[in-house]
Structure 1
Amino acid sequence: MKAVLVKSGKGGISDLYIGETENPTPSSGDVIVKIKAFGLNRMDILQRRGGYPVPAGASTVLGVEFSGHVTEVGSGVSEWKINDEVFGLASGGAYAEYIKVPATHLISKPAHLSWVEAASVPEMWITAYQALVVIGKVKAGDNVLVHAGASGVGIAVSQLARLYGAKNVIATASSKEKLDNLVNLPGGIGPTHGVNYKTQDFAEEVKNITGGVGANVVIDFVGQSHWHKNMAALAVDGHMTMLGLLSGGEVESFNLGIILYKRLHIEGSTLRSRSVAYQTELIAGFKRDVVGHLTNFEGTGKLRTIIHSVVYSWTDIQAAHQEMEDDKNIGKIIVEIS
């Protein structure tokens, strides 16, 4: 089959190319899907550069989310049949014509979602659900602070926070354009407030917005540069889920006392490296709690897929990676296999 490969196994954008690799074959409990579209994620850039460890046994081909239809089922699989339309989450291998995944990692594609829209769902929405609901334990009336608010996961977190009844949903981003787009998303699905972390002190803004209470849940991808202000922004008994360390992982001159007297819950999380059993349980919860609320951007659902204005063919995979590296997108970057 054809797949997007990286010359010499790792490299820059110019090292991406479409080449030949082995077709996957299903083991017991697995399903083979012919891919129609796949989503781009920042981990793909890190893996392409050689800086993201691939889980043991996973495909070394890039990509963890996709949409398509079932072409083969392994022994012991009863819930899927040939030609079922699905989208799903994988540990790797989505930049290809075919992919092998556990049957438990597939979700039926709603008829009202296109292949492109469905491919935008798995990684960002399941990550957001895990960070906000499973780990962050968001509840009605909470105040939520989400960093990287214009990223795919950031947009999903804001929408989920509104769905779960958060009082204030405060998103940070680096430009007025991004914040205006987020706050003005139709149907009241976006954050209630936007803060430019480059020109404003987001900890002070959170205190002002929440009447001094602070954020009950913080979702952070940034790490070092945001740490002190995150600690100041958190409410008593607050939860912070850390999903990345974009600014670095070393913090200087930090007094641990704030964690004690605020009784803070701070948890780091990844998704790709989790066990199949953990992912299976998480995806089951996501199916139960979230999928029924999803529509496309023009729909009227409480949760809507938001696709970057440019959808790429996989023959333009280098341009798609450049777009992500340039941080120009608002919403998911999706690539179609043609």
Structure 2
Amino acid sequence: MKQIVITGHGGPEKLQVREAPDPNPRPDEVRIRVKACRINFADILARRGLYPDAPRPPMVVGYEISGIVDQLGSEVDKQWLGRDVFALVHFGGYADTVTVPASQVFAMPAALDYEHSVALPVQYLTAWQLLVVMGAVTAGDSVLVHNAGGGVGLAAIASATTTQLPGPLRLLALAAATPWFHPLSLMSRNRGVFGVNLGHLWHEVPKLQAWMRALLGGVEAGWIRPHVDRTFPFERAGDAHAWIEDRKNIGKVVLSVEKQIPPTSRRA
């Protein structure tokens, strides 16, 4: 199989395509021949050495994949064989062949293709957790979404990745600009502050599955439509990382394993 490996901390040139043996699924896993994988900003932070959860180089990152199930573990229902699916993976997604627990695999909706289904899991699950689960938003409520386009927020973090300070010290300026909240003042004003990290919820399988079922219902009903800004060929992962770091994208950036899709004319 082919993998995109981060060979060391640094710029997009640290991404290299390498060959590795095809993996075989464990009893509770399926093997997926990947058609598309998505780039998250966490991948870029990992490449820069700024993501504490990432493994040490050389490493393969990536949280979201889509493709076709071609092999099953001994404990997996045979209905999955040959199906179009998308899946959550805990690193390892930048590859053309991936094994993943069947509990993290979902049938691809008819309304989405490989590129758009892979744009669904991480960010939509995070938004669902923030708004519905923790924020308890219901019909009739109003929500203010800061930095909805991503430009300002990415600018603050893109600044962190380009500073000359070493390692985690790059985040000092960003941390210094972060507001502090005292619990007594929040209580007096009937307000709350919370944060989420989907990467720390891998053990909450029933919750993630329930939230994803709700999101897939939204896809079927038409009120969820993931937006893909641009799709890059698998071998051009470095260009895809640079596209995001240059803050050129509005929407998701995807790597296509099999084919090259022309860039959107408005962003070229």
TM-score, normalised via structure 1 length: 0.65
2:267 is aligned with 1:268: no
1:281 maps to which residue? 206
1:118 maps to which residue? 117
2:80 is aligned with 1:50: no
Q: Residues 315 and 330 from structure 1, CA distance in 2 versus in 1: closer, same or farther, beyond 3 angstroms? A: same
User: Given residue 112 of structure 2, which amino acid in structure 1 is its aligned partner?
Assistant: L
User: Hey, what's the Cα distance between the residues in 2 that align with 1:285 and 1:34?
Assistant: 25
User: Hey, what's the Cα distance between the residues in 2 that align with 1:174 and 1:12?
Assistant: 21
Unaligned runs of 5+ in 1: 152-172, 176-197, 199-220, 223-244
Kept in 2, the 8 Å contact 1:116–1:334? The answer is: yes
2:160 maps to which residue? none
| 1:49-98 residue CA offsets vs partner (Å, 9 max, x unmatched) | 22223478xx9411100110111111221164221110111111111011
User: Hey, what's the Cα distance between the residues in 2 that align with 1:110 and 1:314?
Assistant: 23
User: Given residue 306 of structure 1, which amino acid in structure 2 is its aligned partner?
Assistant: H
Kept in 1, the 8 Å contact 2:6–2:59? The answer is: no
Q: Residues 55 and 46 from structure 1, CA distance in 2 versus in 1: closer, same or farther, beyond 3 angstroms? A: closer
User: Hey, what's the Cα distance between the residues in 2 that align with 1:321 and 1:97?
Assistant: 18
Q: Residues 251 and 332 from structure 1, CA distance in 2 versus in 1: closer, same or farther, beyond 3 angstroms? A: closer
| 1:190-221 residue CA offsets vs partner (Å, 9 max, x unmatched) | xxxxxxxx9xxxxxxxxxxxxxxxxxxxxxx9
Q: Residues 252 and 30 from structure 1, CA distance in 2 versus in 1: closer, same or farther, beyond 3 angstroms? A: closer
2:76 maps to which residue? 77
Please state how far the C-alpha of 1:256 moved relative to its aligned partner. Answer: 4.8
1:317 maps to which residue? 237
Matches within 5 A, 1:66-105: 66-78=65-77, 80-105=79-104
SS at match of 2:69: strand
Matches within 5 A, 1:1-338: 1-7=1-7, 9-54=8-53, 60-78=59-77, 80-151=79-150, 174=152, 247-248=174-175, 251=178, 256-276=183-203, 278=204, 280-294=205-219, 301-308=222-229, 310-338=230-258
Kept in 1, the 8 Å contact 2:32–2:98? The answer is: yes
User: Hey, what's the Cα distance between the residues in 2 that align with 1:136 and 1:270?
Assistant: 15
SS at match of 2:13: helix
User: Hey, what's the Cα distance between the residues in 1 that align with 2:173 and 2:214?
Assistant: 30
User: Hey, what's the Cα distance between the residues in 2 that align with 1:254 and 1:103?
Assistant: 41
User: Given residue 5 of structure 2, which amino acid in structure 1 is its aligned partner?
Assistant: L
Q: Residues 117 and 259 from structure 1, CA distance in 2 versus in 1: closer, same or farther, beyond 3 angstroms? A: same
Kept in 2, the 8 Å contact 1:80–1:103? The answer is: no
Q: Residues 55 and 312 from structure 1, CA distance in 2 versus in 1: closer, same or farther, beyond 3 angstroms? A: closer
Please state how far the C-alpha of 1:24 moved relative to its aligned partner. Answer: 2.3
Q: Determine which structure has greater relative contact order: mean sequence separation of CA pairs < 8 Å that are 6+ residues apart, divided by chain length.
A: 2
User: Hey, what's the Cα distance between the residues in 1 that align with 2:78 and 2:147?
Assistant: 37
User: Hey, what's the Cα distance between the residues in 2 that align with 1:100 and 1:328?
Assistant: 32
Q: Residues 43 and 246 from structure 1, CA distance in 2 versus in 1: closer, same or farther, beyond 3 angstroms? A: farther
1:190 maps to which residue? none
Question: How many pairs align?
Answer: 242
TM-score, normalised via structure 2 length: 0.80
Please state how far the C-alpha of 1:146 moved relative to its aligned partner. Answer: 1.6
User: Hey, what's the Cα distance between the residues in 2 that align with 1:12 and 1:174?
Assistant: 21
| 1:239-276 residue CA offsets vs partner (Å, 9 max, x unmatched) | xxxxxx99326657765542120232322221112242
Please state how far the C-alpha of 1:10 moved relative to its aligned partner. Answer: 2.7
| Percent sequence identity over aligned pairs | 31
User: Given residue 264 of structure 1, which amino acid in structure 2 is its aligned partner?
Assistant: R
Q: Which has the higher strand share?
A: 1
User: Hey, what's the Cα distance between the residues in 1 that align with 2:233 and 2:173?
Assistant: 28
Kept in 2, the 8 Å contact 1:28–1:74? The answer is: yes
SS at match of 2:200: coil
Kept in 1, the 8 Å contact 2:69–2:80? The answer is: yes
SS at match of 2:92: coil
User: Hey, what's the Cα distance between the residues in 2 that align with 1:262 and 1:17?
Assistant: 51
Kept in 1, the 8 Å contact 2:69–2:82? The answer is: yes
